[in-house]
């Protein structure tokens, strides 16, 4: 048990939780949160595996930095889409989820 292994395993768990939440949740805001959580899991695995050498491999760090910035762009756009859908259709669920109870 070393820190990289601990965080990489936690990252795999977080990735899976996020993926399941993204597939299973109905409220679109929760899906957006789940997508972010899933991304964080991927980042955790990347950075944890880069930390096995000392000094750590900087390339995954740069990749994750790019990923964080792209994730916030995606989140902002998705939230704007969600708010617009909610304004036009009065529901925060996707059309195919609305009639299922």
Partner 1 sequence: MSGDTLVLDLVLAGLLVFLAWRLLTLSDLFKATVLFIVFGVLLSLAWVRLNAPDVALAEAAIGAGVTGALVLDALRRLDARGPADEAQPLRLNLPRLVGALLVMGLGAFLLWSVLSLPPGWRGLSSETAAAMPRSGVVNPVTASLLNFRGYDTLLEIAVLMLAVLGVWTLNAEPMPPAEPAGPILDVLVKALLPPMVVVAGYLLWAGGHAPGGAFQGAAVLAAGGILLHLARPFNVANRGVVRLVIGFGFAVFLLVGLTLATLGGRFLELPERHAGILILMIETAAMISIALTFVVLFVGNARDNAGRDTS
Residues numbered 67 to 86 that lie near partner 1 (CB under 8 A) are 68-77, 79-84, 86
By CB under 8 A, the residues from 19 to 78 that bind partner 1 are 19-21, 23-27, 29-30, 32-34, 36-37, 40-41, 43-45, 47-62, 64-66, 68-77
Q: Please identify which residue in 90, 95, 96, 99 interacts with partner 1, judged by CB under 8 A.
A: 90
For residue 95, state whether it binds partner 1 (rule: CB under 8 A): no
CB of 10 to partner 1, least distance (A): 4
Kindly state the smallest distance separating residue 26's Cβ from partner 1, in Å: 6
Q: What is the DSSP string of the chain?
A: --HHHHHHHHHHHHHHHHHHHHHH--BHHHHHHHHHHHHHHHHHHHHHHHTTSSSPPHHHHHHHHHHHHHHHHHHHHHHHHHHHHHHHHS-SB-HHHHS--
């Amino acid at each position: 048990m070393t820190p990289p292994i601990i965080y990489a395993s936690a990252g795999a768990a977080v990735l899976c939780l996020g993926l399941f939440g993204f597939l299973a949740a109905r409220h679109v805001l929760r899906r957006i949160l789940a997508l972010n959580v899933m991304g964080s899991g991927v980042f955790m695995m990347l950075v944890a595996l880069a930390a096995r050498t000392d000094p750590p491999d900087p390339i995954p760090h740069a990749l994750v930095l790019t990923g964080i910035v792209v994730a916030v762009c995606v989140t902002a756009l998705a939230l704007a889409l969600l708010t617009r859908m909610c304004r036009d259709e009065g529901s925060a669920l996707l059309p195919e989820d609305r009639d299922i109870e």
